[in-house]
């Protein structure tokens, strides 16, 4: 059985904490505690990217799908440009988000969204635990 939930967040700094809470509660409700911290960190990074790099104040959508084997996290935003992981210098205060996502997630990528924007997704194997 697949579980799905989604929530729209306004384009403001407070939304990052709210999306972490939303994600944590959904995973707890579904019984997916084993990867919750990894997923929570990734939603924070992907949502921060959507907030910081968006062209406008449209906000962003967080969608979570989960089944017995995989949790898929998506962050939708209105900017068409695809993010790219970069090598941050030791003195940089940002620029490590996608590197963190690539380490914590079992896969991640970017898809175009119709009619505009993109979806940045990450997936997490759950080890076959049944919620």
| pLDDT tens, residue by residue, 46-85 | 999 888 876 667 899 999 999 989 999 999 998 877 666 6
Q: Helix 14-30 to helix 36-53 angle, to the nearest 10 degrees? A: 150
pTM of the model: 0.86
Q: In this structure, what DSSP letter does residue 99 have?
A: H
Q: Where are the alpha helices (DSSP H) in the chain?
A: 14-30, 36-53, 97-104
Residue 100: predicted pLDDT: 85
Q: How far out from the chain centre does Cα 109 lie?
A: 11
End-to-end CA distance of the chain: 9
Assign 7 a pLDDT band (cuts: 50, 70, 90).
very high
The mean pLDDT value for 97-114 works out to 90
């Amino acid at each position: 059985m697949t579980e799905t939930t989604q929530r729209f967040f306004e384009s403001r700094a407070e939304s990052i904490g709210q999306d972490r809470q939303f994600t944590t509660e959904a995973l707890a409700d579904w019984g997916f505690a084993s990867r919750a911290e990894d997923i929570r960190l990734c939603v924070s990074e992907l949502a921060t990217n959507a907030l910081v790099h968006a062209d406008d104040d449209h906000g962003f959508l967080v969608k979570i799908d989960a089944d017995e084997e995989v949790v898929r996290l998506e962050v939708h935003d209105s900017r068409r440009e695809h993010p790219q992981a970069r090598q941050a210098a030791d003195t940089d205060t940002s620029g490590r988000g996608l590197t963190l996502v690539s380490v914590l997630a079992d896969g991640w990528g970017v898809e175009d969204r119709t009619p505009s924007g993109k979806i940045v997704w990450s997936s997490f194997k759950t080890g076959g635990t049944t919620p």
